[in-house]
Structure 1
Amino acid sequence: MYLKSALLALGLLVVIACQHEPRKGDPRLLIENAYILTLEPGQTQPVKGYLLVGQDGAISGLAAGQPPDGLVVQRRLDAQGQWLLPGFVSAHSHLWQSAFYGIAANDNLEGWIAQLYGVEAPKLDAAQLYQLTRRGATQHLRNGITSVFNFTYTGADRSGEVDRQQLRGALDAGVRVVHGFNVRTINDSWTPAMARERTAAFLAWAGAQPESGRYLGTMLAGYAGFISATPGQAQVEGDLMREFSLGNQQHYLESVVESAGERERYPLLEQAGIIGPRLIFGHFIHSTPELTAAAVRAGVSMSWNPMSNGRLGSGNADVLAYRAAGMKVGMGVDGEASADRADPFENMRMGLYQVRAVHQRAAAMQAYEVLRLHTLGSAEVLGIDAQVGSLRVGKRADMVLLDPRSFAPWQEPYAALVFAAGVKDIREVFVDGLSLAR
């Protein structure tokens, strides 16, 4: 009788234990006792509470206080007061440039282009571009950047293999990516029909990749705004944008010496149908009030890249004027050949301090504003803000967990984070609620 009772009790304990063992369909992650900076519009006060990630990788719960009793999850993480914020978004990166730190160290843009694109880049084959892209994406992730617009390098390749390898490199690293596709230079040996065929083939291939959640689509990495481009370049890009519903990010008004000629090309971009809500101007430093107003009326946005703008001596983008005019502004860490660090913390500080120095007024831009630009603002510019850029129920669980001990105690959390935090303070980076090795 005693043995029978003991066995029944043991069986009951096993049943109870099994009921509390995580199962395949249980929520993926619970982070409790966290200091959560959601970056959601209107929610500037951090939340002291918990965040729950469903099995699908989306945020399924976020609230102050303690989580409900009895939650069974695959991983339970006690943050012990550490800070949780959305993963950074780089609206302008060149992942393949991860091998070229310090190149053309004392050259402005033109000399830098001559060295990188004229000498070094043509040596790279598709396999090397895959490895460099994967390395660059991994470094972005380690530094807290979970979503990126990636400008690719095409060179002389006509087959599309270099594009495929660069997208695979980004996806294999685990980053969420918008692929920047090069049309190639339109001329007698590379016709509009060839460009269209290559674009269609790549889009079909990319759409069949299994990482449908991390591949955020393709945009053109435009060339038509450069003074060396032919009118036919603009027309082809405009036609491809319309036919395939593609966005376009142009390096525009970055060069000190070529910006006057690029400004003169603006009507050509308008005629080709490039100017509009699906266009992003990368850098956009040497604008005029009239051109800025025209771009705002058309719904154009811009990507601000302060580290590379300073490193290459390109100048300071007047982001205060652009935002005051109504332009959407995001931030990018650019490439490790021009910014030398895929570091959103340094990028925020560089941009914030440039603005304050130029305007000689510390209150010209606040810490919260620049943090928002590098998260939700960049997501808005890329059109991916329904998925990433802030923390709320239904969005992807792309997050950065920070240990605040190096910059605590604090009086104002956003100022403490932007002024003093760095990649050294990152404890974990999550994409879809899954921790990535650092």
Structure 2
Amino acid sequence: MTTSAAPLDLLLLPTWLVPVEPAGVVLKEHGLGIRDGCIAFIGPRAAALKLAAKEVRELPGMLLSPGLINAHGHAAMSLFRGLADDLPLMTWLEKHIWPAEAKWVDEAFVRDGTNLAIAEQLKGGITCFCDMYFYPKVASDCVHTSGMRAQIAMPILDFPIPGASSADEALRQAIELFGDLKHHPRIKIAFGPHAPYTLSDANLEKIRVVAEELDATIHMHVHETAFEVQQAVEQTGERPLARLGRLGLLGPRFQAVHMTQISEDDLALLVESNTSVIHCPESNLKLASGFCPVERLWQAGVNVAIGTDGAASNNDLDLLGETRTAAMLAKAVAGSATALDAHRALRMATLNGARAMGLESQIGSLEVGKAADMVAFDLSGLAQQPIYDPVSQLIYATGRDCVKHLWVAGKPLLDDRQLTRMDEQQLTATAIAWGQRISGHSE
């Protein structure tokens, strides 16, 4: 209930309100009140209408849920969307993406690509995203200006990357950025060791020590392909996840991205360490990387969140579509139609992402006291009728074109499908210009 007699800044009256916590609940004819960027009231419509509010918005035919959380991506790679399709992962990386990055990636590329990704994600119902790409300060500036929420991970590799000549320099930049933004209300800086096969034990240990000192999250590609695991075993006799465990990196603030290869020992390590897994089904499918056994992880108690990966390998940043794919794929992999039901899928796309980032006390569910990060999905269309369970309809029958309104910390960033702080036409024109340069049609 409301905690003060001060008027609400905004009262929302949707047809359905899905708080995600408690699990499996759908509230019909309820209202949600916002004050000072936080949720101040959730209760029946009749009680809501008795409260003083500066603005009241009816949301007929709409489902109000926590904002979607995209737990893994490379935002600026939106400018490489479709550049090298239909190729195996290592060919895609070594022959196409890494050379393109060496040629094109600079601060302007990261700024324009990140802004493009932010706009696409906002229009798709995403209020928070995890980014792992070069020039993270530039990406942080974009997030700050946009009003969105993000975890920004500084990539760290054994070799030079755009913007950092060595692992030590990348680590130093990450520490500096962490210090600069540690009090930012919407941006969290993380450490982004790229993958086990691109980092030595010595550099991984440096990252572990610093992350522990700062209580920072670590975001890393792990067990993306069977080849990665096989190669590590052949060369060292040790699976990559076991190596990370031996080095002390695993834990509740470690985000293991992909995890398509999971043995019984791997599962035990994940459970024991309370490590989160970030599932990116469409990228894994497109690159034929393998299948993350989501239901097996879930039943074992592992926190599984969901990410789109970058638009260069997906090729969209559509988390609602990704969640639908995840639910379908989980059933096929588990051989059970009851695996990852619609309500759990929505939880994976919201609260589980918040938990992976250590932000579950602030975002990921609609609860009094949490930040008002929310999305309104319009379920009034022909393709959503009739509605028996609105959450099932959202996951299995609804596309991101049904995203109508979106708020981050109570501020509207999407209003009636229109971006409130970003110029969509300008973003589109800038992306087209980059595409022409990269494809060689203009200099």
TM-score by length of 2: 0.84
Q: What is the aligned partner in structure 2 of residue 409 from structure 1?
A: 386
Q: What is the aligned partner in structure 2 of residue 364 from structure 1?
A: 339
Q: What is the aligned partner in structure 2 of residue 373 from structure 1?
A: 348
Q: Describe the SS at the equivalent of 1:350.
A: helix
Q: What is the aligned partner in structure 1 of residue 313 from structure 2?
A: 338
CA contact (8 A) 2:222 2:241 kept: no
- Give the drift of 1:395: 0.9
Question: Against the structure 1 CA distance between its residues 380 and 125, is the aligned structure 2 distance closer, same or farther, given a 3 Å change threshold?
Answer: same
Q: What is the correspondence of 1:205-216 to structure 2 with a 5 Å cutoff? A: 205-207=180-182, 212-215=184-187
Q: What is the aligned partner in structure 2 of residue 143 from structure 1?
A: 124
Q: What is the aligned partner in structure 2 of residue 120 from structure 1?
A: 100
Corresponding residue to 2:281 among 306, 313, 319: 306
Structure 1 residue 388 corresponds to structure 2 residue 363: yes
Q: What is the correspondence of 1:203-242 to structure 2 with a 5 Å cutoff? A: 203-207=178-182, 212-215=184-187, 217-223=188-194, 225-242=195-212
**1:97 and 1:416 mapped to 2: Cα distance?**
31
**Letter of the structure 1 residue corresponding to residue 136 of structure 2:** D
**2:182 and 2:289 mapped to 1: Cα distance?**
37
Corresponding residue to 1:278 among 225, 249, 253: 253
Question: Against the structure 1 CA distance between its residues 377 and 394, is the aligned structure 2 distance closer, same or farther, given a 3 Å change threshold?
Answer: same
RMSD: 2.2
Q: Describe the SS at the equivalent of 1:388.
A: coil
Structure 2 residue runs of 5 or longer lacking an equivalent are 1-5, 233-237, 419-443
Q: What is the correspondence of 1:280-295 to structure 2 with a 5 Å cutoff? A: 280-295=255-270
- Give the drift of 1:182: 2.1
- Give the drift of 1:100: 1.8
Structure 1 residue 324 corresponds to structure 2 residue 324: no
Q: What is the aligned partner in structure 2 of residue 77 from structure 1?
A: 57
CA contact (8 A) 1:149 1:178 kept: yes
Q: What is the aligned partner in structure 2 of residue 244 from structure 1?
A: 214
CA contact (8 A) 2:39 2:367 kept: yes
CA contact (8 A) 1:90 1:378 kept: yes
Q: Describe the SS at the equivalent of 2:156.
A: coil
**Letter of the structure 1 residue corresponding to residue 210 of structure 2:** L
**Letter of the structure 2 residue corresponding to residue 168 of structure 1:** D
**1:382 and 1:104 mapped to 2: Cα distance?**
31
Question: Against the structure 1 CA distance between its residues 190 and 41, is the aligned structure 2 distance closer, same or farther, given a 3 Å change threshold?
Answer: same
**1:428 and 1:69 mapped to 2: Cα distance?**
21
Question: Against the structure 1 CA distance between its residues 409 and 245, is the aligned structure 2 distance closer, same or farther, given a 3 Å change threshold?
Answer: same
**Letter of the structure 1 residue corresponding to residue 288 of structure 2:** G
- Give the drift of 1:116: 4.8
**1:206 and 1:388 mapped to 2: Cα distance?**
19
TM-score by length of 1: 0.85
**2:270 and 2:49 mapped to 1: Cα distance?**
53
Q: What is the aligned partner in structure 1 of residue 230 from structure 2?
A: 260
Q: What is the aligned partner in structure 2 of residue 269 from structure 1?
A: 244
**1:359 and 1:79 mapped to 2: Cα distance?**
38
Question: Against the structure 1 CA distance between its residues 244 and 405, is the aligned structure 2 distance closer, same or farther, given a 3 Å change threshold?
Answer: same
Greater mean deviation of Cα atoms: 268-277 or 392-401: 268-277
Structure 1 residue 201 corresponds to structure 2 residue 176: yes
Q: What is the aligned partner in structure 2 of residue 101 from structure 1?
A: 81
**1:186 and 1:236 mapped to 2: Cα distance?**
15
Question: Against the structure 1 CA distance between its residues 95 and 196, is the aligned structure 2 distance closer, same or farther, given a 3 Å change threshold?
Answer: closer
Q: What is the aligned partner in structure 2 of residue 353 from structure 1?
A: 328
Question: Against the structure 1 CA distance between its residues 402 and 264, is the aligned structure 2 distance closer, same or farther, given a 3 Å change threshold?
Answer: closer
Greater mean deviation of Cα atoms: 174-183 or 140-149: 174-183
Q: What is the aligned partner in structure 2 of residue 9 from structure 1?
A: none
Task: Report which of the two structures shows the higher radius of gyration computed on alpha carbons.
Answer: 1
Question: Against the structure 1 CA distance between its residues 417 and 192, is the aligned structure 2 distance closer, same or farther, given a 3 Å change threshold?
Answer: closer
Structure 1, residues 25-44: CA drift from partner, whole Å, max 9, x if none? 84221112531111112452
Question: Against the structure 1 CA distance between its residues 118 and 53, is the aligned structure 2 distance closer, same or farther, given a 3 Å change threshold?
Answer: same
**1:328 and 1:235 mapped to 2: Cα distance?**
24
- Give the drift of 1:430: 1.1
Q: Give the share of equivalent positions with the same residue, in percent.
A: 24
**Letter of the structure 2 residue corresponding to residue 426 of structure 1:** V
Structure 1 residue runs of 5 or longer lacking an equivalent are 1-24, 154-161
- Give the drift of 1:377: 1.4
Q: Describe the SS at the equivalent of 2:29.
A: strand
Q: What is the correspondence of 1:82-93 to structure 2 with a 5 Å cutoff? A: 82-93=62-73
- Give the drift of 1:68: 4.5
CA contact (8 A) 1:30 1:53 kept: yes
**Letter of the structure 2 residue corresponding to residue 353 of structure 1:** M
CA contact (8 A) 1:104 1:115 kept: no
Q: What is the aligned partner in structure 2 of residue 166 from structure 1?
A: 139
**Letter of the structure 1 residue corresponding to residue 178 of structure 2:** L
Q: What is the aligned partner in structure 1 of residue 149 from structure 2?
A: 176
Number of equivalenced pairs:
399
Q: Describe the SS at the equivalent of 2:204.
A: helix
CA contact (8 A) 2:18 2:64 kept: yes
**1:287 and 1:81 mapped to 2: Cα distance?**
42
Corresponding residue to 1:50 among 28, 31, 50: 31
CA contact (8 A) 2:157 2:199 kept: no
**1:46 and 1:91 mapped to 2: Cα distance?**
27
Structure 1, residues 92-136: CA drift from partner, whole Å, max 9, x if none? 121111112223211121122124532221212112211211211
**1:314 and 1:192 mapped to 2: Cα distance?**
27
Structure 1, residues 280-304: CA drift from partner, whole Å, max 9, x if none? 1100011211111122111111001
CA contact (8 A) 1:282 1:303 kept: yes
**2:364 and 2:264 mapped to 1: Cα distance?**
29
**1:240 and 1:360 mapped to 2: Cα distance?**
42
